[in-house]
Amino acid sequence: MTKVAKPIYELDEALTDLAKLYQFRTLEERGYAGMTVSQSYTLRDLFFNGPRSMSQLAAMLRIRLSTMTGVIDQLERKGYVERLDHPEDRRSLQVRLTSEGRKFYQSAHDAFLSHLAPLVEHRAPADCDRLISFLQEVTGAIRGWREGHSRKERRDGKNHP
C-alpha cells in the first residue's frame, strides 16, 4: 500500500461508519422512533423546503414514485403529513407536514443537533470552516463519481463498478 493509499482507505472507512450511523438508525432509537430512512429524509425535506409534489420527493430520494407513495401513506397514517391539491396543477397533489409532523421533526432534529454541538462549540471558527469545507469537498467528489458513473451507464447501457 502506498503512502497516499492508506489515508484514502481510512477516509473510506470513516465515511462508511459515519453514513451507517447517520442513515441506518434503528426504528427504536429515541427521537426518530419508528421512522425509516426514507420517512426521515422525507420529513426533513418537507420541514426545510415546504410542500412538495410526490414527484419532487421521489426525485429527492432517488426512488420510484410508487415507492414514494408508500412512504407518504405511512407518514400520513402517523399523522405527520397530509396530501393537498396542488395550487397550480389540478392533476397533481402536494404533500406538506402537519403541525404534529412539524413538531415531531423539530424535536428529533434538535435532539440530533444537540449531540453534534460539542464537536464545534469549543473549536475556533476557522477550524469549523475547514472541517465543513473538507466535508463539502468529500460530498463534491462523491457526487462527481456518481454523475460520471451515470453518464457512462447511459452511454453504453452497461453497469460499471
Mean pLDDT confidence for 13-36: 69
Q: How high is the pLDDT of residue 159?
A: 56
CB 45, CB 52: distance < 8 Å: yes
Q: What is the percentage of the chain residues whose pLDDT exceeds 70? A: 82
Per-residue pLDDT for 19 more than 80? no
| pLDDT tens figures, 39-64 | 989 999 999 999 999 999 999 998 99
Contacts of 111 (CB under 8 A, 6+ apart): 30, 31
Classify residue 106 by its DSSP letter. Answer: H
* Cα–Cα distance measured from residue 135 to residue 8, given in angstroms and rounded to the nearest whole number: 14
Rounded CA Rg of the chain: 19
Report the range out of 16-25, 108-117, 144-153 with the highest average pLDDT: 108-117
pLDDT at 46: 97
For cell 489515508, the residue is 7
Residue 103 has φ and ψ, to the nearest 5°, of: -65, -45
Grid cell locating 22: 447517520
List residues bridging with 94 in a β-sheet.
53, 84
DSSP letter assigned to residue 29 = S
Average pLDDT, the chain: 83
For residues 124 and 130, give the distance between their C-alpha atoms in angstroms, rounded to a whole number: 10
Domain with CATH 1.10.10.10 in the chain: 26-121
Query: Which of 36-50, 59-73, 94-108, 145-159 shows the lowest mean pLDDT across its residues?
Result: 145-159
Q: Look at the domain 26-121 and name its fold.
A: Arc Repressor Mutant, subunit A (1.10.10)
Share of the chain above pLDDT 90, in %: 42
pLDDT of residue 27: 47
